[in-house]
Amino acid sequence: MGVFKKKDQPVYARPADASVSQAFKNGNIMTRLSFFIFGLGNIVNKQIVRGLILLALEIGYFAYLFSFGIGALGDFVTLGTVEQGQVYNEALGIYEYTAGDDSMLCLLYGVITLALTAAVIFVACMSGKSAYCTQFRKEKGLAVPSFTDDLKSLKEENLHAFLLAFPIIGILCFTVVPLIFMILIAFTSYDHEHQPPGNLFTWVGLENFQKMFSEGSKLAATFWPVLSWTLIWAVVATVSCYILGLLLALLINRKGTKAKGFWRFMFVLSVAVPQFVTLLSMRTIFNANGPVNVILREIGVIGMTESIPFFTNPLYAKITIICINIWIGVPFTMLSTTGILQNIPAELYEAAKIDGASAPTIFRKITLPYMLFVMTPNLITSFTGNINNFNVIFLLSGGGPDSMDYYYAGKTDLLVTWLYRLTITQKDYNLGAVIGILVFVILATVSLLTYRRTGSYKDEGAFQ
Amino acid sequence: MRSKRFITNTICHILLAILSVIWVLPIFYVVLTSFRAESGSYKSYIWPRGFTLDNYINLFKGSSSLNFPKWFMNTLIIAIFSTVLSAFFVLCVSYVMSRLRFKMRKTFMNIALVLGMFPGFMSMIAVYYILKGLGLLETGVLKQVALVLVYSGGAGLGFYMAKGFFDTIPKTIDEAAYIDGATKWDTFIRITIPLSKPIITYTLITTFMAPWVDYIFAKVIMGNETSYYTIAIGLWTMLEQEFVEYYYTQFYAGCVIISIPIAILFLLTQKCYVEGVSGAVKG
């Protein structure tokens, strides 16, 4: 007697070639028509509910299209033609605004209409395939699933569709559509001079990319230094946290070290504090009048009225940020490496000792290669994470000190914080979108190349 | 030989002591300042002249513009709702990716990987306009709903960790259930979920912590509605030019209050993380 009720589930045969093209080629007239009148093949074969649902989706889409969608698509091409105007109202003696087109909304509705259209094309394929399957079953004299059977299949062979439906809707609404929208903005003139609803913006093709790369422009003069600082930052932050964290873990795990748990706790404490709290308090601690400068004055390193410009001198700011990042990152590495360190085969160490290797040699020739081998995927994630490390820069220095040579960027701005400034404070949405695309290109090349080679991607079934 | 080892051990311990002082001092300073009696921001000395609990008391009294208890409740509510929603999303997606085989599976995983490479807030402006279009930015309460949607909407993409865990549950257990007549849905609810407590706890806690530490999205969506702020934007506001003189010590008190529960939760996740990484069913 099992825990689960045994049910006789009929198995519904599917044609071996249930694909869209086959359905169109081999289907009868009803099946082919199902691509255009959704659910027709199902309704004819008495799968009324399924057919009606498909049909309702189609009717809903076309109702939307004719009432609103076609206009939205037209506006999407032009991004609006009527500029907001002013008309003098003689009766009241004031200027009144006449409503113009809002390019922003034109673009947004255009993207939404296109997304809906894509969804409907997907439903059309489903409708055709479903009609083909039903036709096949009818011809072979097999059972045709009723609507209750369809619902039951959601718990069995179609469970993936059931479980994925809501997450995918969420991802589409809050990730995919906005992303497409922002990518499109990179090809428009949506900057601080073209702010809807007052002004219209329009398609400009690759102009923004040209501006970003053209020799001598202020944008290019900002982009390259910011890019190089982003890369330097990502490499230095990743490597420094990794090596120092590893050394710390080794130091704590040495045979001779007493009270290992106590030392570990001292460092874990800083990890447990929420990051923005750490960062905000670090910002005040390294402030021009903050405690660090106070201590330095007390012990006489600097004069009583002087202060070290931790965040206001470009070079100092960069060094300060990297040091604070080490403070934040080292305990993390220590935590994650401790377990792996204990897995290194002890024979390796013994053999090295017998050969007379010194401690630094053992670290360089055994520990480091072993750790690198195991932790390469981690390193890649933390590298890409550092390229996008918005919080550390934004909450510590805010990208400052600002530079007159740059286009609204500071000396410690990363590409992502510059993106933030360009969009939120400067309202140059098109330039922000260009930066976003470039960041994506950098990350994609770095991680797709390396991530796909890792074991967990290739060999995911190893433990199943 | 013995004296040499003694010397290295001593050096190592001294080094560890120095390092832990460096790591603990800033935290100690935060706690110290939160009890400082003198108001005002930066002082020309470190050790407070007097100690008081007033900073904490005033913090919980709240004022009309900077209302800490209200922020706390706002964040708590948002955190609870977005945790439930995103944990549901994450578990569904990771189970599907780990256990079920269907046509678009690899494609979906690759798309998820690619989507994860765009800077998160690049799409923020578009999300902002979509929410505005949905009418979710009209009142403060609706803005909170919007924030929950923003935090959990794309959660389905973060399935890698839980999928890795599900991958370690032996397939034979599932197959035994199928033989007993279980559907795949039964297997998910009654076999996989109960076996996955560490990873579920991990998912729950990490998503629960996100609203407490997120600054950007909350700021963009909430704008100037201070009474609907979450903790992170609220504390940031305390350090702004017009508030810092009065709220400096309260800021630190707020930091301490917020850090304690988060630290406890973090230590919990560490435990679950280790269990989660080491796999579900031993032997």
B283 pLDDT exceeds 50? no
Three-state DSSP at B250 gives: helix
Residue scoring higher pLDDT (B40 or A452): B40
What is the tens place of the pLDDT at every residue in B269-280?
777 766 665 555
Which residue out of B123, B174, B275 would a mutagenesis test of the A interface target, given it has the greatest number of A Cβ atoms within 10 Å?
Answer: B123
- Full-model pTM: 0.81
Encoded tokens for A122 = 């997907």
Is residue A78 classed as helix, strand or coil in its secondary structure? helix
CA gap B222, B236 in Å, rounded = 14
Asked if B84 reaches chain A (Cβ–Cβ under 8 Å), the answer is no
Among the partner residues B27, B167, B236, nearest to A460 by beta-carbon distance: B167
Q: What is the pLDDT of residue B64?
A: 67
Residue numbers in B near A167 (CB within 8 A): 89-90, 92-93, 155-156
Residues of B in contact with A271 (CB under 8 A): 266
Integer-rounded Cα Rg, in Å, for chain A is: 31
Phi/psi for A385 (5° steps) reads -60, -40
Q: Judge whether residue B48 has pLDDT over 90.
A: no
What's the pLDDT at B281? 53
A40-44 average pLDDT score = 83
Nearest CA of chain A to the CA of B64: how many Å? Answer: 23
The burial of A168, by beta-carbon neighbours within 10 Å (0-12 exposed, 13-18 middle, 19 or more buried), is given as middle
pLDDT at site A320: 92
Q: Do A108 and B235 touch (CB under 8 A)?
A: no
In degrees and rounded to multiples of 5, residue B119 shows phi and psi of -55, 130
Question: Average pLDDT, stretch A101-125?
Answer: 87
Query: How does residue B204 score in pLDDT terms, banded at 50, 70 and 90?
Result: confident
The answer to whether the beta carbons of residues A42 and A50 sit under 8 Å apart is: yes
Q: How far apart are CA B8 and CA B214, in angstroms?
A: 44
Report yes or no: A185 and A426 within 8 Å, Cβ to Cβ. Answer: no
pLDDT at B196: 84
Give chain B's domains with CATH numbers: 63-277 (1.10.3720.10)
Among A121-125, A227-231, A453-457, B233-237, the minimum mean pLDDT is found in A453-457
Domains defined along chain A, listed by start? 20-205 (no CATH), 211-455 (1.10.3720.10)
Residues of B in contact with A394 (CB under 8 A): 215-216
pLDDT in tens, A170-183: 888 888 888 888 88
Residue A311: both structure tokens together: 């965040």
Q: How far is A298 from chain B (nearest CA, A)?
A: 8
Q: How does DSSP assign B137-199, residue by residue?
A: TSSHHHHHHHHHHHHHHTGGG--HHHHHHHHTS-HHHHHHHHHTT--HHHHIIIIIHHHTHHH
CB atoms within 10 A of CB B203: 28
Tally of CA atoms within 13 A in the half-sphere of B9 that contains its CB: 11
- Cα distances from B15 to residues A244, A247, A248, in angstroms, run 13, 12, 10
- Give residue-wise pLDDT tens across range B102-144: 888 888 888 887 887 777 777 777 888 788 877 888 888 888 9
The rounded mean pLDDT for chain B is 83
pLDDT bin (cut points 50, 70, 90) of residue A321 is very high
Contacts of A164 in chain B (CB under 8 A): 92-93, 96, 108, 156
* Residues above pLDDT 70, as percent of chain A: 93
Residues A285 and A395 sit within 8 Å (Cβ to Cβ) = no
Q: Which tens digit of pLDDT belongs to each residue from A348-378? A: 888 888 888 888 888 888 888 877 777 777 7
CA A226 from chain centre, in angstroms, equals 21
Of B29, B181, B186, the CB nearest to A291: B29
- CA pair distance A233, A383, nearest whole angstrom: 10
